[in-house]
Chains A and B, each alone.
Chain A
Amino acid sequence: MAIAKVAVIGSGVMGGAIAAHAANAGAEVVLLDIVPEGGRNRSALAEGAIERMLKTDPAPFMDRRFAKRIRTGNLDDHLNQLKDVDWIIEAVVEKLEIKQALYRKIEGVRRDGSIVSSNTSTIRLAALTEGLPERLRRDFLITHFFNPPRYMRLLELVAGPSTRRDAIEAINHFCDLSLGKGVIEANDTPGFIANRIGTFWIQVALNEALDSGLPIEEADAVLSRPFGIPKTGVFALMDLVGIDLMPLVGRSLYNAVKEGDAFRAIHREAEPVRRMIEGGLIGRKGKGGFYRLAEHDGKKVKEAIDLKSLAYAKARKPRLECVSVARKGGLPALFEHPEPAGGYAWRVMSRTLAYAAALVPEIAGSIQAVDDAMRLGYNWGQGPFELIDKIGPRWFAERLKADGQTVPSLVARAAESGGFYRVEAGRRVALAPTGSYRPIERPKGVLLLADLRLAAKPLLRNRSASLWDIGDGVAALEFHTKMNALDPDILGLMRQSIELIGAKHKALVIYNEGDNFSAGVNLGLALFAINLGAWPMLEDLVKQGQQTFAALRDAPFPVVGAPSGLALGGGCEVLLHCDAVQAHAESYIGLVETGVGLIPGWGGCRAMLARGLGKKGFGGAMPAISKVFETIGLAKVSRSAFEAMELGFLREGDGITANRDRLLSDAKARALALVPGYKPPPAPTFKLPGKTARVALAIAVKGMSITGKVTAHDQVVAKELAFVLSGGDTDTVDQTTDDSLAKLERAAFMRLLREPKTLARMEHTLDTGKPLRN
């Protein structure tokens, strides 16, 4: 059964954003809420949610226009709209009576075979469905989204004993392929998987910080980076989530777990937290939290709270030796370090990991499900079992024993056999609750370089990039520099790859498995060369990039770019030279060179212009020139693949993949589809108005300068950009070749490179990660 029409009931933070994300997936959406008391507009809640979401940052919508896919209404007047909906999601207040009453109401209108799910995070399915008609029980499940639903990849799916298998599969399929979620089937247990472990972790981290007096900055520092956990650690995470939720979530879990559960032993309603909530210090949505941004003399200063006195002081950046020793000596060195933070980390993480180990198979059928849930739901770099493997299961078990903690049987088993995960015959296998190892199965359509790395050697490799054979005659080029920044080695491997593929393969996919496709050119390297005054070397690098990307475009086989995350500057230029792009929906693409006082030098200007000018025919060049000038000049970056299409970084025929794990497989399929009869595109030619276009652009820039929208150096950069986009000294009736435009591009780039203010921008961006407006 295909899901085409979705309804969400409850337009609060979660309900609204789930509706928005369903709209992102292309579904027709109905969003209903109750009729507010006393208001004239009976649908004010749902309508207000849309308005609110259009202003929310990070944006719930991938494209503002998707808001139109949502029809808003209220439960009294518009319940009938549920009658032809495929999937009805309940996201109302966590009160059993209210939810059950709503289900009964829905039951009266929904069609046979439609699916109903709850977004509950605390109530078990057995309780939700108790006493409800059998028809509903068959169509009912829990779909637990994480906040914010567009960005957090975890979706916990809980089915009951009566739930139809095909209903589970339909939801799983839609959530995976259309919503891009990592769907984890969880058991019907309190808090399901991620929050069960996460709540325990947060509680024990708070307890230990209170008992040991460890400053919260140190607690967050030691609990984050060494474990691959986001730098928010525990306390800054609570500020984000809302401290007022802590006692509610804790109490709810306490009441729901069985007698003897380890959470019961550690659960506390800490006095300082109670006082903070009373004082409105509930985190970012309140007057402050464990941290706050205070203003001193007009400057914003980050402050941290003292858990004893509840007084704020300037937050310190802890320099922990225990963290440094862990880089070499691993996590055991961290745990054993005499600094208070070392012991703290042990007490928090050992209990959390042991708790997780003791919960399999109670909460989930496999250790991978638990690891996946913590990675996708809490953004941990590694899940609990992967972390134990990293620590060393034997060391971990022995230290637990030495501490007088219980060693969960699964940990004992892993300690005996050398870990939770192993590689057997080129495949990753995982320890099953039964004690044996089972291969990790990937769903059809999921292809990961991480798996391939275990089984094969790359076709080509240098320190910055590798080329892999991904089967069916397709090769995949990946970068592995920091932030996948482009450097001469990547360009070199690209050229080698083009040669190799031409002879032995049918197509190339350019794909990176990290968080970002590429943050652009390695600025540090460029800056170093500028400071040396190595101008010929720099010009050669520009030329090399131009030639390499042109070779990519002109290669005798199809090339498909597959971005996810950032694809900026040079990273964007790679994509602009591909035959097609298969982009992850969360692709943030842009030519941001002007931010550092430069213009795209590796063909970005030309490729964008060629796209803008489009097919030969009527119409002048100025609309395309103006649009490209604006997009590059203002360093516009798309906030989704859909926006990238509007900005012209993607073309209409390019594909968008919702699920990150399916990107490589989709890109490969796209590349193979291009193979039959493939001919490289001819190099573009241009008819450009030269000086006339520059005047038109100068008039626009002047207007922006009068209104204070551009700085003095912006105008210098804009002038060079205008020079390239106008075609230099040409006339509207003359033909300009791609090569001659490449020369202009290179010359303008080199002139800007010598500008002291460009240098200042580059240095500033490298130091602070932010643009300098000089």
Chain B
Amino acid sequence: MSEVCIAGYARSPFTFAHKGALIHTRPDDLGGIVVKALVARLGVDPTEIEDVIVGCAFPEGEQGFNVARLIGLLAGIPTSAAGATVNRFCGSSMQAIHIAAGAIRMGAGEAFVCAGIESMSRVPMGGFNPMPNPTLYETMPEVFMSMGETAEVLARKYQIRREEQEAFAVESHRKAAAASGGGKLKGEIVPIETEAGVVEVDGCIRPDTNAEKLKTLQPAFAADGTVTAGTSSPLTDGAAAVFVCSEDYAKKKGLKVLARVKSIAVAGCAPEVMGIGPVLATRKALARAGLQLTDMDLIEINEAFAVQVLACGRELGFDQTKMNLDGGAVALGHPLGATGARITGKAAQLLQREGKRYALATQCIGGGQGIATVLEAA
């Protein structure tokens, strides 16, 4: 049975929703541009692509129809390839990778484009026409809890002070600014042409943020809360894509493999503590890989909220020096559907850059879930 490989990773710049440089770019166009660039950079024959799988957390409006199919066509991938849109909220595009991995192991295809998109400017979080189920709201209202509220629940449960969250956010921005300033992100970013000019750098990073500035912000989700806009990932526009294929295919085509997918997992948890989701998913994935967390040389964990990563860290015991080397979502932004592809692609890319063996990519998911992927350097 062939191994599952990640052979390429690309993304658009991530920019603020509502005020950033990509607000006028349709998310399907954004996805199309990134996918096209990824395929072109790898030099693969697009007729050999089995499926274009695209994650999106609110697949409606310009992200609606079966947007994966449309993105494939916009990217110039021939009609012979299929297309499927996946929704696992924030875990959507990591799930896209998992679907491809499963198919490859089934012998159901060799080459897959696994992407994710979200324009939080153009399709609001919650969608255009939210219709929550009244019965479920009566019996289990926490299912519809806002993400910020769940972050506050974790802050209380784990007694994580505001200062600690802010120190974390400052560090995330510092790492992201260093990576961006040092040109380390250039290789993964696909420049996007807009009417106002070419956008080729991330827009959410605040290199000059510090504890003093963050201290002045009002709590964003509870009057007496600790979580602020500064310690949350911002609403973001962006797209990301990875190329997933069998090791045989990579060899045949002479592709440089970044990493092998060693194991995958998803797990559910209580909705009101959704931020702790990575803990359960990580434990499952590590067990399936026969590895320990200490075996992981690199950890890419999505920073939906600083407090949520800190809570996961308390449960799992992360080594901070291995985590989110180029910064996380608090600094880079979190276009919901696109983040999974970014952090999985990033983990694979970092294994090569840092010359390491194992990496963990994991995320929390609204509604109470976690998702995790263990990678091994090729």
Cβ-defined contact, B131 with A692, below 8 A: yes
Interface segment out of the listed A170-178, A354-362, A619-627, A747-755: A619-627
Residue A708 at the chain B interface, CB threshold 8 Å = yes
| Interface 1/0 per residue, B139-179 and A, CB below 8 Å | 00000101011000000000000000000000000000000
B128–A706 touching, CB < 8 Å: no
When the two chains form their complex, are residues B223 and A707 in contact, meaning their CB atoms are under 8 A apart? yes
Q: How far is the CA of A689 from the CA of B222 in the complex (A)?
A: 29
- Given A620-B129, A621-B129, residue A708 in contact with residue B223 (CB < 8 A): yes
B149 adjacent to A703 (CB under 8 Å): yes
* Distance of A708 Cα from B137 Cα, bound (Å): 22
Q: Is A696 an interface residue (CB 8 A)?
A: yes
Is B355's CB within 8 Å of the partner chain A? no
Chain A contact surface mostly = helix
The reply to whether B129 and A619 contact each other, CB–CB distance below 8 Å, is: yes
Contact of B132 among A695, A707, A732 (CB under 8 A): A695
Q: Is the CB of A707 within 8 A of B219?
A: yes
Indicate which residue in A689, A706, A708 contacts B131 across the interface (CB closer than 8 Å): A689
B99 within 8 A of A: no
Within 8 Å by CB of B130, from A622, A691, A703, A708, lies: A622
A621, A695, A703, A707: the one contacting B137 at CB < 8 Å is A695
In-complex Cβ contact of A622 among B129, B144, B220 (8 A) = B129
CB distance from A698 to the nearest CB of B (A): 8
Partner of A696, one of B131, B146, B149: B131
A240 within 8 A of B: no
B residues near A708, Cβ cutoff 8 Å: 223
A699 at the binding interface (Cβ < 8 Å) = yes
Cβ proximity bits A643-656 to B, threshold 8 Å, 1 near / 0 not:
00000000000000
When the two chains form their complex, are residues A707 and B222 in contact, meaning their CB atoms are under 8 A apart? yes
Q: B220-232 vs A: 1/0 string, CB under 8 Å?
A: 1111010000000
Interface residues of A in 613-632 (CB under 8 A from B): 619-623
Q: Which residues in window 220-251 of B have CB below 8 A to A? A: 220-223, 225
Q: For A706, give its contact among B132, B144, B223 (CB under 8 Å).
A: B223
Would you give the shortest CB distance from B367 to chain A, in whole angstroms? 14
- A-B contacts counted at CB < 8 A amount to 50
Interface of chain B, helix or strand or loop or mixed? loop
| Contact status B222-A696, CB under 8 Å | no
- Residues of chain A with a CB closer than 8 A to B130's CB: 622, 696
B134 in contact (CB, < 8 A): yes
Q: Smallest Cβ distance from B225 to chain A, in angstroms?
A: 8
In the bound complex, how far is the Cα of B136 from the Cα of A692, in angstroms?
11
Which residues from A are CB-within-8-Å of B148?
703
Q: Does B133 contact A (CB under 8 A)?
A: yes
Docked CA distance A695–B130 (Å) = 10
List the B side residues contacting A620 at CB < 8 Å: 128-129, 131
Q: How far is the CB of B234 from chain A (nearest CB, A)?
A: 18
Cβ < 8 Å to B, chain A residues 684-707: 689, 691-696, 698-699, 703, 706-707
Residue of B nearest to A691 (CB): B134
- Nearest B residue to A698, CB-CB: B137
Q: Which residue of A623, A695, A698 is within 8 Å of B129 (Cβ)? A: A623
Q: Which residues of B from 183 to 222 have beta carbons under 8 Å from A? A: 219-222
Whole-angstrom CA separation of A386 from B131 in the bound complex? 63
> Chain A residues near B220 (CB, 8 Å)?
707
Contacts of B144 in A (CB 8 A): 695, 699
Which residues from chain A contact B149 at a C-beta distance below 8 Å?
Answer: 703, 706
- Considering only CB atoms, which chain A residue lies closest to B148 in the complex? A703
Q: How far is the CB of B156 from chain A (nearest CB, A)?
A: 13
Residues of B close to A696: CB separation below 8 A: 130-132
Which residues of the other chain, A, contact B223 by a CB distance below 8 angstroms?
Answer: 706-708
Q: CB-CB < 8 A to B222: which residues of A?
A: 706-707
**With A703-B146, A707-B223 in contact, is A623–B128 under 8 Å at CB?**
yes
Residues of B within 8 A of A621 (CB): 129
The smallest C-beta distance from A592 to any residue of chain B, in angstroms, reads 25
Interfacial chain A residues near B225, Cβ < 8 Å? 706-707
Interface residues of B in 113-137 (CB under 8 A from A): 128-134, 137
* In contact, B132 and A692 (Cβ under 8 angstroms): yes
Please, which residue of chain B has its CB at the minimum distance from the CB of A626? B130
Please indicate the chain B residues that have their CB under 8 angstroms from the CB of A689 in the complex: 131
By beta carbon, the residue of chain B nearest A689 is B131
Give A580-624 as 1s and 0s: 1 = Cβ < 8 Å from B's Cβ atoms. Answer: 000000000000000000000000000000000000000111110
* Docked CA distance A619–B130 (Å): 11
Which residues of B sit under 8 angstroms from A692, Cβ to Cβ?
Answer: 131-134
Give the chain A neighbours of B132 by CB distance below 8 A: 692, 695-696, 699
Give the docked Cα–Cα distance between A767 and B364 (Å).
53
**A732 neighbours in B (Cβ, 8 Å):** 131
- Check if B221 sits within 8 Å of A622, measured CB to CB: no
Q: A residues 668-722 with Cβ under 8 Å of B?
A: 689, 691-696, 698-699, 703, 706-708
- Which of B128, B130, B225 has the most A CB atoms < 10 Å from its CB? B130
User: Complex Cα distance A696/B134, Å?
Assistant: 9
* 15 sampled A-B residue pairs with Cβ under 8 A: A620-B131, A621-B129, A622-B128, A622-B130, A623-B128, A694-B134, A695-B132, A696-B132, A698-B137, A703-B149, A706-B221, A706-B222, A707-B219, A707-B221, A707-B223
B contacts, CB < 8 Å to A: 128-134, 137, 144, 146, 148-149, 219-223, 225
Closest 8 pairs (CB-CB, A-B):
A620-B129, A708-B223, A622-B129, A691-B134, A695-B137, A695-B132, A696-B130, A706-B222
Known contacts A696-B130, A703-B148, A706-B225; 7 additional CB pairs below 8 A are: A695-B134, A696-B131, A698-B137, A699-B146, A706-B221, A706-B223, A707-B221
A binding-site residues for B, Cβ under 8 Å: 619-623, 689, 691-696, 698-699, 703, 706-708, 732
